Structure 1
C-alpha cells in the first residue's frame, strides 16, 4: 500500500486491548495508519487515553459519553480543562446524546452535553460527537453553541446528514459502511458527503469491517484494518483509495487545528 491514513477514532483503553497497546499500534503503522485519535468516554478513560497518547505520540480526547452522563459531577468542567491543557488532547468528547440505549436519563444527557459544548466553546476546541436515535435534540442543542467538530460513527438518515453538514460538522465513517446487511442505507449516502468533510475511523475494538477476508482470531477490530474502510468508501465515491486517504488525512488535521496546535 502506497498511502498513509489517520484513524479518527480508537477506543484503545477498552479492556479488549489490555496488555497489547504497543502491538496494536505497531500493526497499525505497518498497515499505513500513521496517527490515531484515542477516545475518552469518561474521566478515567480520558486520563488513560492521554497517557497512551503521550507514550506513543498520538492524539486523544477528553469527555463524558452520554452513556456515562449520570456520572458527571459539579467538577466536570475543571477536570476536563486540566486534561485539555495537555497538547495531546485535541477535542472535547466523546459527548452527545444516545436515546437508543438510554443508559443515562435523557434530561441528564442533555445537561451534560450542553456543559461540554460550552466548555469546548470556551477552550476553542472541537467536539467529538456521539448520537443515536436523537438527531432532532442533538441538532437543536448544537445550534445553541458555536462549535466545530466531528459527528463520530454516522449511521443516520439523509435528513440528519444534511442538517449535520449544514452545522459545519465533519462526518466520521466506520466499518459499518462495509456491512452488506445493515450498512446499505449508509452506503447510499456516502457520495452525498463532501470529500472535504469526510473522516474515517475504526471505532476499534468494535465494528470490524465485514470485508476483512481473514478475520483475526480475537474477532475484534483494530486500527490496522482501517484500509478496508478506506477501500469500501473509495469504491462508493468511484475514486482510488489513495485519494480518500489523502483527503481524510488533510481533513483530520484541518478540523482539529493541528497545523497551529
Structure 2
C-alpha cells in the first residue's frame, strides 16, 4: 500500500514519529508522500525524507490556508526545494473558500503560481479544493494537457465535480472521509464511479481518522497504519477485492509520483 498524503511534520507526531513509521511498515505501507503545506513545512518534509530514503517522499507547496503568509519569492523557493530527489509533486495547493483562512484573491494568486511552477518543472500537482470548485477548475483548465498529472487530494465533492475531474484525467485521492457515513454519504454514493486506474488512497494523517476502526483507538490522531480501513470500505462500495484496490492504487502512485518502491 502507498499512502499519498501524510502530514508527518505535524506536531502531533513529534513525540513518536519513528514508532508511527514502524507501525506503517508493519501494516505493509511500502511508501508515503509527506505533504508540504508552506515553505518551512516543505523543508521539514524533505529533511524527514532524507532520513528514510526510498520510503518517504514529499510534496512542496503552499496550502490555501497559508496563502496570506506566503513569502514574495515563494515560487523560487519551492523551485529550489523541488531539486531534491525526494520531491515528487507541487502542493498541497488549491483553493479553500470554506474556511477562508487566507483571502480569496491571495489564494488564487498563490495557487496560479504553483500551477505554473508544476508546468515549468513538469511535476504532478497535489491539489486541495473545498467550496471553490468552479474557480479552482478554471485555474487548472488551461494546463490540463501540459502538467504530467493532477491528483485531487482528499476528494469530498459531488457527482458532477467527480465526473468533471475524471473527464480531465485527474487522479482521485480517497481518505477516511469515506468511512464516515454521517458526513461522507455523498462520497460513498459516488465512489464506485472512479475507475481503479484513477484511484489513490491516503490517510491525510493526523486528520480524518476512519470511523470503522474497531476497537476505537484511544487517540483521535490518525496515522498511516490505519490505511487498510479505508481500503476495506472502498472494497465494499466499489465491488473490487481489497487486493485489487491495493495493487492498482500502488501502481497508480508509483507511476504518477515516479517512486522507487520495490514491494509496491
**TM-score past 0.5 threshold:** yes
- What is the aligned partner in structure 1 of residue 166 from structure 2? 165
Unaligned runs of 5+ in 1: none
2:9 alignment counterpart:
13
> Is residue 215 of structure 1 aligned with residue 213 of structure 2?
no
Instruction: Give the TM-score of the pair, scaled to structure 2.
Output: 0.95
Aligned to 2:109: 111
- Give the Å deviation of 1:173: 0.3
CA deviation after TM superposition for structure 1 residue 258, in Å? 3.4
Partner of 1:99: 97
User: 1:165: how far off?
Assistant: 1.2
Number of positions where the alignment pairs a residue of Structure 1 with one of Structure 2? 256
Counterpart residue number, 2:185: 184
Aligned residue for 2:236? 235
State the secondary structure of the residue aligned to 1:33. Answer: coil
1:50 maps to 2:46 = yes
Pick one of 58, 61, 86 that aligns with 1:88: 86
Counterparts of 2:72 and 2:139, CA distance in 1? 20
Match of 1:22 in 2: 18
SS at match of 1:159: helix
Rounded Cα–Cα distance in structure 2 between residues aligned with 1:214 and 1:54:
35
Deviation at 1:75, TM superposition (A): 1.1
Alignment of structure 1 residues 186-205 onto 2, 5 Å: 186-205=187-206
Q: Partner of 2:131 in structure 1?
A: 133
* Matched residue, 1:256: 257
Q: TM-score, structure 1 length as denominator?
A: 0.96
- Give me the whole-angstrom Cα distance separating, in 2, the residues matched to 1:238 and 1:193: 12
Q: What do the CA deviations read for 1:92-118 (whole angstroms, capped 9, x no partner)?
A: 000000000001100110010000000
Match of 2:35 among 18, 21, 39: 39
Question: Which has the larger displacement, 160-169 or 37-46?
Answer: 160-169
- Partners of 1:144 and 1:70 lie apart in 2 by 25
- Report the aligned-residue RMSD: 1.2
Q: Deviation of residue 240 (structure 1)? A: 1.2
Distance 1:53 1:242 in 2: 27
Q: Which moved more, 1:180-189 or 1:114-123?
A: 180-189
Q: How many angstroms apart in 2 are the aligned matches of 1:53 and 1:149?
A: 22
* Displacement of 1:215: 2.4
Question: What 5-or-longer segments of structure 2 have no aligned partner?
Answer: none
Q: Which runs of 4+ in 1 moved over 4 A?
A: none
